Amino acid sequence: MLRHVIAPSRRYTKASHDVVRHTRLNSDAKILLLAVQGLPDGQAAQALSEHARKLGIKGRAYQKSKALLIAHGYVHEWRGQGVRGHWRTEQLFSSVPLTPEEAALLRRGASQEQPSAREPAVGRPTARVTGRHLPVEEELGKTIPHPPSEADPPVATGPEPGTGRQAEPGGAEVAIADAVDAEQQVEPDPGPGPEFAQGERVLLSLRHVRRELYLGAGEARSLAGLAARWLLRGVSEAELRTVLTTGLPGGGVRSAAGFLRFRLLQKMPPELPPETSGQPLALPPVAELTTCSAPGEEHVFRPVGDETECGECRRQAARAHWEAQWAAAEAVTDDPLPWRERFARLGDVATPG
């Protein structure tokens, strides 16, 4: 493919690779997303449908594009009644995916991050270079919902009561890690097998249910052993997915891998009762071969009960019996009188001559 690219000097919009290469957004949704992203502040109050109408996206195409943007966190809506009882719809547009909790914070104007003042760059201005930058370590087809949050600083705690020694910072995390290690020592993870592959598939599918539970391939493979234990204990894939995606914390999940590991260990179902390994089931006795008593060529069969003839001979005898019955019925020549003649005969008998 030949390419001729000229960087525009004005009237352009910066498009993120995550949006342009998004595999689940159609072309109308991408065009609408980029068009609204580049609007001036004076036109931000208009509804999303107005911007779509100006772009020629109407009817079913607009509804489908809007549904895709809402499903992937680019558009959020709230519908409610105003002071005078009129219904109104508030829309929040974002150039990056947002969770419902993050969108609610932005709606209330309670964003915790404030923009910092930027210092001017050092050096002389240079011309823009377009088409020569290659993405470094970029995973095509995957979009990161939001950057990982920074770890909380360790909190200095006083001496533990009754011991006189200083408590270790992050004691809760150490206790959880010890519990995880103890659990793994008690019951090792099952090796690669059908349950291991099913567990890894379930963990990778959680991103489509809740974006907060996005796992990489390595993280899903490290947790697949715990998920395989659930499947070995009689839990189906749908039930495991429901347990991992319901009842999430109200403040959101900060570490998807840590949260899923903790939940897989804490809610591990009990083991299935061992199967009764007694004496093997005795097979029913097999009857010996018996000579068929029906006339004809001598042959043997294996009786099921106390019969003396084989099944084929009994069927032939039954067929011959009913054929004889049918032939005897056909041989009767006295046809019954029609109903008019029977009535006439009855009338002659009832009336004296």
Q: Is 68:24 a contact under the CB 8 Å cutoff?
A: yes
Q: Is 183:225 a contact under the CB 8 Å cutoff?
A: no
Q: How many CB atoms lie within 10 A of CB 98?
A: 22
Q: 148 forms bridges with which residues in the sheet?
A: none
Task: Give the pLDDT score at 171.
Answer: 42
Strands (E) located in 19-115: 75-81, 87-93
User: Does residue 81 have a pLDDT over 70?
Assistant: yes
Residues 307, 304: Cα–Cα separation, whole Å: 7
User: Does residue 144 have a pLDDT over 70?
Assistant: no
Going by pLDDT thresholds of 50, 70 and 90, the confidence category of residue 205 is very high
Collect all residues with Cβ–Cβ distance below 8 Å to 64 and sequence separation of at least 6. 26, 28, 29
49 versus 10: which is more confidently predicted? 49
Position 80, amino acid: G
Task: Give the pLDDT score at 323.
Answer: 92
Task: Give the pLDDT score at 291.
Answer: 92
Reported as a single tens digit per residue, the pLDDT across 291-304 is: 999 888 899 999 98
Which range, of 51-60, 119-128, 210-219, averages the lowest pLDDT? 119-128
Block residue for tokens 């996206």: 57
As a whole number, mean pLDDT of residues 224-229 equals 90
User: Does residue 52 have a pLDDT over 70?
Assistant: yes
Reported as a single tens digit per residue, the pLDDT across 318-329 is: 999 999 988 887
